[in-house]
Structure 1
């Protein structure tokens, strides 16, 4: 197998390019990690700091997610090790941090509930391995089918709303840990009400620890921006537990974490029939969260996460983790935010986080178990608040009110429906927005800039632009097809009725596709205008594909060469010539 260069090797602003290896089956490209070859030594320190900082967030959260899924607590460490390692080698995002998420954990719990007993750890581990293997296989098959294009249906305003919604949900989710209160979690508003009702029962010591940690984090970020604030906060929290005996005062800690390497756990083919339907949902969650987080934190000048390669990288991360005790994995928004804000420059940070999880398994598990939950909550809250950016909403509103509404809908969808449903809402909103745009394209009335051959849309800013009595110049833009042809026709009819011209010159230079239904409607409209209203239709600036289609149709025979023009300047010259009898 020979290394093969990708079509384009991107090295913008010092970011590494990417080579690929082509597998003979299906032409799947596995990225070769060029960042290992092109790595710059000045990246080492920020990547190591970021990787260690992220590990302080990822490891305790992964332990919690394992318990949410009903799995042994050490499964969280396995998930922060193997999938993180594989993604760091194969993924296309420089900063995406891959382990697992709350939503995936809940979906896993639901999936495993019907096939394994909660009291049988061995059965649970086998069922988890089978589910994770199926998730990985589904993602790889999706890559073979090139289904990554689904990610392109999330627009930037919708992505901004999605991130803000996730930030709000995460903050609300962490507040109970910050206050030391407990309740059965439900919907967003249920949780808000439960928090309000639980404030009188809050642990003052726990709340004090949380407030001190938030103050410490914010102070370090402002005064010492290069320092690893979360890592310092975590170390301070662990030290406080040892020095002041905080658990005796009601401060909850992460708890006991078993040590040891993951055992080889093969999937059970007999469980696959029962687990493949929920595996589809988990795979969708894994991909959508992965690509959304990767896109959300990609900076200008960095390689944009490639959806199809993300499918492959995440799929192989799940497949690899399945055999070594990991639960279903995907990119996490919070941990990726921490990685980005901690200064990560390359996938080395993911490798550092992975090996930090390995070190925890072997050496540091008892120490991590001493971390106050309030410390973890403070770290998550401080970095999640950064996802909520009112300035971006104001910028969208100042440019276009409609897209501001899309952003709000995406935010509300995440808050009210949950992350998976919120992503679905975001995609639907983007698709509806796209459908609205293509179904109602603009039709401009043109004028000529004095002294030039420049034709532009008439506006109050340019009242001096020239028009020509008896000639109406129109310019539609976009694709004309069955969904918008009638609407475009209505807009043109309004202008024709208002002006009552002799000639309507339609500039089609901005039309890249002309569908059969639209062509038929134009043919009928031309005939009606010519026979009933004595209005002549000219077509101007047709693209080669559109021109070829028109020529093959009855409309082309009707218009002939005399009523089709290369550009509007030629059409105007012909009109003047015909009016003066030249």
Structure 2
């Protein structure tokens, strides 16, 4: 039997369609049905809520839980990843659409959303063609933590007016915060009561019944209360009319593409980052690991297909994927059942959704957005490294004060600055030998007993040495030489995986100056194969020869003790 993967080729793209069916086991069918319907009970209410975050009609949430979920289930490489939309993507979509379409012009708003989603999908597919899956690693974890916390704060402040039943013109974060404070006296206390009850219900169920579909129960409870107690008469606002049936075909608008591609780039990056992070986090041992470039294709096509059928920008969500895993999902078939459940809701339950209180949706959004704010993660970063804690805080403040789309730029710039800082200032350790062993380690106050040897200075630079950091490393090496004035300097290069030409030239000149002007001999130890080849091909290799290059530090120390300095 032919066991090769089922793939269709389109240029340099290989489409797994759907490859997971090849190894499907009949015993997985029942768990996949249960998991798919359980995830639907969580995803559908949240998708409705996220549509309101994005400033879109509530039914867009249903479309997003249907089309992108369906396409990803067929093409994705993660068995349990649930793809619809997330709080982060929703708030980014809201920022992108704010300057393009008015909330009062539903037709233009839907066109703008379709255009944005189409561009996001196209960017992800182009990224797949260029094999840019590695870009997911370009945002450091501390910066991502700060960014998500900032998004969580922005979303909570954005939803509080719906909990209070107040209205005002939205502006900057500080403007909205002040308007909320000023609007409290005009709050609808019936709306406040509904919101408070819903938040209490959601929190209680998350803690006491973590496997229960809390969002679905809260939504059902809200609809029931409107019907039973006539809450609309007390000023409690509801979602209103939700159209029944399949979404209408929506075509992107070319002029809008020119205005929307910059925010679409940020949304595409965040969609892919969240997708690959969630997919990797919930992959079990023995399951296929999500492949970044294939995930770019799957999420790109999920967005592109969804764009024409009313869906907003989509990506993998951590919470819904966790539910999928806990519910026993075995394969992507569970995602197909979630998608079909969304389709059934569109065709049969849309009128009921229209009775849902706005405060209920706001409660769902707030409870699940607060999870983006994790003070413990900030504390953990601070314990390990203060500098990266500052980066996390700056990312948070950037999102809150500058804006979410601009916050992505801040996050990327911070990550790149962090990377540049790390590679431009690598450590250079002064080594000592652990007594009675051949273990050489950086000197520290914790090990004052470590041995050093008169006239011998042992140094260990680490990382890639190239033009951007060669001068800085030279300064770090020069400082202890000036202080100690040794006869021999041993450079342990075992931690140096690459030595660029500019750095090699500086090392050649430094060795010559130390030897001719100061009578100090330089030895090299533990060269990696690539570095060794470069050194041997250079004048430094001829100068040092075999006598001044060693396999290990212990060999160099033994030779020094034998009285052979090689000078």
TM-score, normalised via structure 2 length? 0.89
CA distance in 2 between counterparts of 1:120 and 1:378 reads 24
Question: In 1, are the aligned partners of 2:195 and 2:360 still within 8 Å (CA)?
Answer: yes
**Aligned runs of 1:125-524 on 2, under 5 Å?**
129=114, 132-265=117-250, 271-272=253-254, 274-294=255-275, 297=278, 299=281, 301-302=283-284, 306-323=291-308, 325-331=309-315, 336-337=318-319, 340=322, 343=326, 346=329, 347=332, 350-524=335-509
1:390-440 alpha-carbon deviations (Å, 9 max, x no partner): 122111111211121122122222222233222221121111111111111
The question of whether the paired residues in 2 share the 8 Å contact of 1:241 and 1:247 is answered with: yes
Give distance in 2, aligned partners of 1:580 and 1:25. 61
Does the CA-based 8 Å contact 2:92-2:267 persist in structure 1?
Answer: no
Offset at residue 33 of structure 1 (A): 5.3
Quick one: distance in 1 between partners of 2:334 and 2:472?
A: 52
Q: 3-state DSSP class of the match of 2:369?
A: helix
CA distance in 1, matches of 2:95, 2:565: 78
Question: Are the aligned partners of 2:457 and 2:488 in contact in 1 as well (CA < 8 Å)?
Answer: yes
Contact 2:395 2:410 in 1 (8 A): yes
Q: Does 1:58 align with 2:47?
A: yes
Find the counterpart in structure 2 of residue 530 from structure 1: 515
SS at match of 1:539: strand
1:37 aligns with 2:24: yes
Q: Secondary structure at the match of 1:546?
A: helix
Instruction: Give the direction of change, closer, same or farther, for the CA distance of 1:78–1:341 in structure 2 (3 Å limit).
Output: closer
Contact 1:157 / 1:406 at 8 angstroms: preserved in 2? yes
**Which segment drifts farther, 307-316 or 171-180?**
307-316
| SS of structure 2 residue aligned to 1:514 | coil
1:23 maps to which residue? 9
TM-score by length of 1: 0.87
* Distance apart, 1:356 and its partner CA: 3.2
Change in Cα spacing, 1:419 to 1:356, as seen in structure 2 (3 Å) is: farther
1:310-357 residue CA offsets vs partner (Å, 9 max, x unmatched): 32122211222233x324422276xx4355368455455643443233
Instruction: Indicate if the aligned counterparts of 1:51 and 1:349 stay in contact, CA closer than 8 A.
Output: no
- Matched with 2:83 is 97
2:38 aligns to what?
Answer: 49
For residues 323 and 403 of structure 2, what CA distance do their matches in structure 1 show? 25
Q: What is the total number of aligned residue pairs between the two structures?
A: 551
Matched residue SS, 2:459: strand
Alpha-carbon distance in structure 2 between the residues aligned to 1:129 and 1:300: 30
Does residue 541 (structure 1) correspond to residue 526 (structure 2)? The answer is yes
Segments of 5+ residues of structure 1 without an aligned counterpart are 6-19
Distance in 2 separating the partners of 1:277 and 1:431:
27
CA distance in structure 2 between the partners assigned to 1:173 and 1:120 by the alignment: 20
Corresponding residue SS for 2:373 = coil
Cα deviation code 1:74-122 (max 9, x no counterpart) = 5554333212221233234534432462322442464568xxx98794x
> Could you give the per-residue CA deviations for residues 456-514 of structure 1, whole angstroms, max 9, x where no partner exists?
11122222222111111111010001111111111111110111100101011110000
Query: 1:47·1:345 contact (CA, 8 Å) conserved in 2?
Result: no
Deviations 1:251-308 (A, max 9, x none): 01111011122344556xxx53x24423422431332221333355453654765442
* Aligned match of 1:571: 556
Q: Which moved more, 1:123-132 or 1:409-418?
A: 123-132
